[in-house]
Chain A
């Protein structure tokens, strides 16, 4: 009767106050049967990682519009590494210039979704790429 559920932390790092996009994604993941912990606005990378550990999530999804992605996204993966965590999928979304993507991927952000990405695409990606047994 064991029933594993995919758990996702949806967070909004940085100082911009728009979380509509993050909420839409959170709802889509819920409707796909996942448990979505939503932590709200203005999260620091430290807060995101700590919440992800306490909640034992399979995936961290972050959305950012302010352009601070190059500072904040890699900081999250760095902190995870410091904690010895290698089984949490990290994805990002928001307005991210094409040129920044290789560096972010190299830093361990598995996928970056631009504005207007179909929600099914995000759901499918999470479903197919979570790492925990």
Chain B
């Protein structure tokens, strides 16, 4: 499908155009870039909420419950659920939708599942552009569920305005893991499965950690208890999300983060495009294979060769 047609469909609120655009983003189809660049001016309106936390901690169930509560508050919702792709087959089992069945027939809710396709950091490479497409489509709120996260799956912070970190009652060991990485990215902590033993203790532990953590902002992450199965604590969670939104606006944090994100995105994009350009020129040429062979045989070194190839590439492009 042509980029123009797709853009037209997305802006008219056609879900199939949105669905197709997201596939094209995932498949790195060049038309997707074209469509996104036209859609860019229609984005920046949605509030993006990230939900991350250990596998099985109840992220999908919480997302479904949150969606129900937000719908009661007349918000429209887009959801992107990321699950890991198998490094062996490249395939993926995307199962987060199971918990979101109640919203399938609600035309104000759009749900999309996504495999990581080898990308690390808790998201797929396509996630941030998919969120942008849903933003242009006109949803008020976009919720991103990351893969079941350990300490290095923190990329969601670059994309979400409000990051929710979920945890469950139980051994204090995993709090160490959380402390290392996801601790710092949380705007709101949720201790889910409040029906299980040790929930209050977990809340106390997280609060104690927050007491000693250096506070960069005026917002101290609240620690909430939820039972996503029964829905208990969910309205309070949505209240906190709205409070956080308000804080971001009023403190000017939204603006600072927006600038920071635009810079990072531009630099990442340039880096990616430049590398791709360079490699497509080189790969498969005899000269390139020769150079690699020489490095392997220790007749040349990768440092010098990299400098030379890049210099040659830049000179050629100046002409």
Contact = CB atoms under 8 A, between A and B. Distances in A.
Interface string B53-96: 00000000000000000000000000000000110011111110
A4 B92 CA distance: 14
SS class, residues of chain B in contact with chain A: mixed
A2 B29 contact: yes
B19 A55 contact: yes
Given A30-B89, A47-B104, A38 B19 contact: no
B98 A3 contact: no
B25 to A, nearest CB: 11
Range of interface residues on chain B?
20 to 34
Given A33-B89, A50-B104, A38 B94 contact: yes
Interface string A100-114: 000000000000000
B19 A32 contact: no
A3 B27 contact: yes
Contacts, number: 87
A7 B23 CA distance: 10
A88 B86 CA distance: 24
A50 B107 CA distance: 9
Interface in B103-138: 104-105, 110-113, 115, 117
SS class, residues of chain A in contact with chain B: mixed
Contact of A36 (B20, B28, B91, B98): B91
A37 B105 contact: no
Contacts of B19: 53-56
B97 interface: yes
Given A31-B86, A36-B92, A56 B111 contact: no
A34 B86 CA distance: 10
Contacts of B115: 5, 35
A46 B76 CA distance: 21
Interface of A: 1-5, 7, 26-27, 29-40, 43, 46-47, 50-51, 53-56, 83
Given A1-B28, A34-B91, 19 more contacts: A1-B276, A2-B27, A2-B28, A3-B27, A5-B26, A5-B27, A5-B90, A5-B117, A27-B93, A30-B86, A33-B91, A35-B113, A36-B92, A36-B93, A40-B98, A50-B104, A53-B15, A55-B97, A56-B22
16 contacts: A1-B28, A1-B276, A2-B29, A5-B27, A5-B90, A7-B23, A27-B93, A30-B86, A30-B89, A31-B86, A35-B85, A36-B94, A53-B15, A54-B15, A54-B111, A55-B97
